[in-house]
Amino acid sequence: MDQPASIIDPAPSNDEMGRRIYELAARLYPICRSITGDGVRETLEILSETIPLERHEVATGTPAFDWTTPREWMIRSATVRNAAGEKVIDFDDHNLHVLNYSAPFRGTVRLDELKRHIHTLPEQPDLIPYRTSYYSENWGFCMAHNRLAELPEGDYQVEIDAEFKDGSLTYGEYLHRGETDREFLLSAHVCHPSLANDNCSGLAMLACLAASLKSRKTRYSYRFLFAPGTIGSLAWLSRNEDVTERIDHGLVVSCVGDGGGPTYKRSRRDNAFIDRAMAHVLSRCPKPATLLDFSPYGYDERQFCSPGFNLPVGLFQRSAFGTFPEYHTSADNLDFIRPEHLAESYRIVTEVIDIVEGDWTPVSLCQKGEPQLGRRGLYAALGGDRSTGLSAMSLLWVLNLADGRHSLLDMAERSGLGFKELAAAAELLRLHGLLADAR
């Protein structure tokens, strides 16, 4: 039989990998990103130091199914000054202060008019919200509600030095080529500004995962996509319909650096291999995991799972989007994510890849009764030993289910044992001439 492709060994240590991912996320955090513009390009340049990204530019006005690639947005500065000339809002202090994709504006406005263009969070009065105006042109700011409440009546000088121009939408792509052209797609959105968990964590983790694959021999090819949310994945899909026919598994990754979860949202197919593999890995996590059914609301899995494609792509997160108080606020900062949580998220995804790479369907060459394991040195004493260890049980489960119809993942689901343990047992049995590949 063909040997399964090599299993990913999460080396360096989990602590070291968590530190590497965190440090990369920290470099990405200060950049003001949007769905287009130089912030995306700067982000991709930093990621290119870790993996050789191929950068794609999609011209403004290019159709992407029912959508159209938007203009580039450039932001240079944005301030609001009181009557004394003092800055009460400054984009340089925090890039969430500007309504993302804000139109340019310059003028003097009264406080009541200014308030119509300021977004706050009254229920979280010390935090700056993240708000966008991608497809409805407007100008605006975001600030802490308490700060807004302190502003006195009067005139305010407003200046948003921004512009829209015909240019392009930018996305990055890296393909790790395996032994076959069947693909595993991993995607993270690259449009959010200074939000550490959503989604500097996902960008950094996938870049480090891609780097770890570079020197490894794999059966599948692994495609990493770093694109602006919604419009970026639509642009990629519209240009790569032939590639989608090769995608057997996929994950959208975001919010993987906090201490919640883990959480997995199934693909539209509901029981695709990726859904089963994620469920198996998460069932063995130290913390209880949450498995969610597919819904057409969320991240770019919505586009990959749209009915015209229906790709087997799920969403992996720690805390699910919208469920933690830091979500889309200035509290989603570098103090909110931790190296140990990033390392655990990395471990979960690598274990899923281990299953994708290592799954096969064995058939027993001794199906009438159990083979005698003891004389082969495989099993010391089956007899009356009531304290049979898991390693012994893994041998027995593999032999019993090795009828040519059960893969190793099937066996893991049926037995409740870990995939890695069953894979090791199957390899041992194969080496002793008791198993063959059912293909």
Q: What residue numbers does the annotated binding site cover?
A: 192, 198, 328
The amino acid that residue 417 corresponds to is L
Cα–Cα distance between 414 and 409 in angstroms, integer?
9
CB 135 within 8 A of CB 71: no
Q: Where are the alpha helices (DSSP H) in 159-318?
A: 201-213, 231-239, 241-244, 273-283, 301-304
CB 213 within 8 A of CB 177: no
Exposed e or buried b per residue across 66-89, where buried means at least 16 C-beta atoms within 10 angstroms of its C-beta: eeebbbbbbbeebbbbeeeeeebb
Place of tokens 């919200």: 129
The encoded tokens of residue 194 equal: 């200074």
| Helices and strands (H, E) in the chain, number of each type | 13, 18
Cα–Cα distance between 45 and 336 in angstroms, integer?
25
Cα–Cα distance between 244 and 272 in angstroms, integer?
16
- CA dihedral (389, 391, 392, 398) in degrees, to 10, reads 140
Place of tokens 């308030």: 115
The encoded tokens of residue 95 equal: 């890039």
* Residues contacting 25, CB < 8 A, separation 6+: 196, 200, 201, 203, 204, 257, 334, 337, 342
Angle between helices 14-28 and 339-358 (to 10 degrees): 110
CB 162 within 8 A of CB 104: yes
Residues tagged in the binding site annotation for Zn(2+): 192, 198, 328
Place of tokens 């991912």: 21
Cα–Cα distance between 432 and 429 in angstroms, integer?
5
